[in-house]
Amino acid sequence: MHLIQVFSGKMSNIVKCGKCGNETSDTNTFISLLLSIDVGNYETYDVKTGLNSFEKHATLEEDDWMYCDSCACKTETETWTQIEDYPTILTLQLKRFNFNWEWMTYEKNNCTVDIPLKLPEEGNRPSYDLYAVVDHKGGYNSGHYTATIKNGKWYCFDDSNVRQVSGKPTMSELSYMLMYRKQVFNQDNVPHVMHILLFGPPRGGKSTTGNIILGGNYFPCESGSATVTKELMVKTVGKVTVVDTPNLFSLDKSGWNREIDKCVKLCDNDLNVILWVIPISDSSNEQQGLFHSSQIRLSSLPKMIIFTNGQELQNLGESIEQFIERREKLRKVVRFFQYRYAVIENTGGCSYLRYTSYLLEKISELLTLRETTASKSHKMKAKASKNKRVKK
């Protein structure tokens, strides 16, 4: 996962004509949100209020009206910003420096900032936890930066000096930048009980994927034939159970079916997710044979492809979409999985923290979609049954 993917989000600047209602938007990437401070030096600025007002609609003064293509003239204009996609790390920069037109210079607003430790979920914004505050001591022309960062406990970083601090950075006259981390899924707080079957070719990163999901070294994942899964392995952490299948290429079709039956029984018949784990590489005839022989078993359950060895995409200079498009057999597999897939990097040792929450979130979305679809189907059947009784 690239650094830019962690810090960047997407926002749209929207312009609406007050005469015909026509809307135009321009979507861009952002790495921080600049929050205007609307209080004086001796007042308290509330970050939550400032963040909520970031998307506030504004009506422009007549001198600032914009040209509407539909009306072919300048019209009353309404503008606002809408955040389309929130990043993993949300950075809020406080606009402490303002231009003083009387003195023709920039001045710093030294108001106290009320810093929330948590940003609750609201609209399309996920929940966030504060993990870093950057302070600025000084004025516009000079100053010194320090950072207070949470790693279990709070620590102050002042050049080469690092010390643990008591208390939490909730009120400050120095805070200049606030950094929030999106609340992550773990094995205990996922919204669904998960019984996951890992399926795929040997040495494709299947066991590593299981370790990433569970957040620890539960399945052997070193390279070499000695660690190819030879028998069913099951591990439960919190609300998540993972079943790692053996090397099915060594079995005939009847053997495949027997092993899958064992997997289902090990999950107490509660198996609810299938993950087809394959590396970023050209699929072999064996992979295709295993997949086609298992389609019937896979068809009724929520399922997703996990592409491992994601670094190979950079080596190829392709996106995952381009990689899939160039391979006809793979396109058919992806279509069968209803275009649900995720890409992870599993080489260079078993690294869990980077992708654990990512995969748990993806699987949770899959199960939520299934529940929503099932609920809609149930309501439609109930309505149809009711209409049928009324007609009788």
Whole-Å CA distances, 114 to 49, 172, 373: 10, 7, 42
Q: Please identify which residue in the block is written with the tokens 């198996």.
A: 271
pTM greater than 0.75 (yes/no):
no
Q: What is the pLDDT of residues 147-164, one digit of tens each?
A: 999 988 899 999 999 999
Pair of tokens at residue 116: 């929330």
- Section 75-93 average pLDDT: 92
pLDDT tens for 45-80 read: 999 999 988 889 999 999 999 999 999 999 999 999
Domains of the chain plus CATH, in order, are 3-182 (3.90.70.10), 194-368 (3.40.50.300)
Closest alpha carbon to 89 in 35, 26, 33, 162: 33
Q: Which residues contact 104 (CB under 8 A, 6 or more apart)?
A: none
CA distance 357 to 56: 32
Helix axes 253-266, 285-298, angle to 10 degrees: 50
Bridge partners for 163 per DSSP: 156
Provide the percentage of residues in the chain whose pLDDT is more than 90. Answer: 36
CA atoms of 271 and 298, how far apart (whole Å): 11
**CA 382 to each of CA 164, 183, 378, 385: distance values in angstroms, whole numbers, following the listed order:** 61, 38, 6, 5
CA nearest neighbour of 363 among 337, 345, 340, 347: 340
Interval 94-108 mean pLDDT: 85
